[in-house]
Amino acid sequence: MAMRFRVVTLNLEQDHKRWDERRALVVEGMKVLQPDIIALNEVSVVRQTARELQRNIGSVQGIDYNLVQQTRVNGLASIEGEALLTRFAVVETGNLDFQARDMVAQVARVLVDGKPLDVYVTHLYMSRGDDSLRLYQVQQLLAWIDRRNDVSDCIVCGDFNATLDMPSAALMASRFRPTQTSPTAFTPLAGGDGAISHPYWLRMDRCIDYIWTTGAIETVASGVCFDKPCSNDPSLWPSDHAGVWADLVF
């Protein structure tokens, strides 16, 4: 019988906009989802939010999560990074410097029911118009994946800042399958001053966060998560993005 496992990806918005209040929404959401693999963008290096969530989510679920994280480079190295939490054994890790806008990608090879699976986490450049830098980053990412060709099954998670009609995401879709395309950005998360994230965008009108699959991996179910505000505060959301969850099998 094929083993079914659950993956979640979420952009955390660092520790901005009332992190101490919204952290509980993230932990509670993970308790409901009970994921086997959690990909995180914009973890705060200063606050060590990935390690904080490793402890909090693990204690709530009674699961020991392994943590792998990669800071961004140059000026952002002390500010934010990408992270992966997984209950599966990690046998190898790696990282890629895009050498563009201090952005990076990371990979962890995990064992799912004894089978190796490469899980990539990245966050691509945000721009309101030109997609050329993201396209370059996707080209670099795919070339890196091709060089790591001793495992055919892999997934790629993260905030791509692009919809499928843009060249960068379309290039990903030529090689990988998105588990879903429902809107993930942007929520009306407000800071203590009442200002919402990305005020120039409409709310939750586009999909820019993905779990991409390839090889023998099949999607059993998928959807959007972390897409509801706090029950007693409609301005407090888990993050400025919604997340994506997917149930996958080999």
pLDDT tens digits along 200-218: 889 999 999 999 999 899 9
**pLDDT tens-digit map of 3-33:** 899 999 999 999 999 999 999 999 999 999 9
Q: Is the pLDDT of residue 151 over 80?
A: yes
Average pLDDT value for the chain: 96
* Angle at the Cα of 244 from the Cα atoms of 102 and 175, rounded to 5 degrees: 70
Residue 11 lies in a domain: yes
Q: Give the Cα-Cα-Cα angle 238, 244, 250 (nearest 5 degrees).
A: 145
229 belongs to a structural domain: no
Residue 228 in any domain: the answer is no
Residues contacting residue 221 through CB under 8 Å, at least 6 positions apart = 246, 247
The verdict on residue 18 lying in a domain is yes
Distances (CA, A) of 131 to 84, 161, 173, 237: 26, 9, 15, 28
Q: Round to whole Å and give the CA distance between 213 and 246.
A: 10
Per-residue model confidence as pLDDT tens digits over 24-81: 999 999 999 999 999 999 999 999 999 999 999 988 777 899 999 999 999 999 999 9
Helix (H) or strand (E) holding 248: strand 243-249
Which amino acid appears at position 189 of this protein? L
End-to-end alpha carbon distance in the chain:
10
Give the pLDDT band (50/70/90) at residue 110: very high
Total domains present in the chain:
1
Instruction: State the pLDDT confidence band at 83, using cuts at 50, 70 and 90.
Output: very high
Inside any domain, residue 39? yes
Inside any domain, residue 181: yes
Q: Is residue 243 part of a domain?
A: no
DSSP state of 2: P
Rounded-to-integer distance, Cα 241 and Cα 194, Å: 17
Domain that holds residue 212: 4-217
CATH of the domain at 97: 3.60.10.10
Kindly state whether residue 246 falls inside one of the protein's structural domains. no
* pTM attached to this predicted model: 0.97
Banded pLDDT at 184 (limits 50, 70, 90) = very high
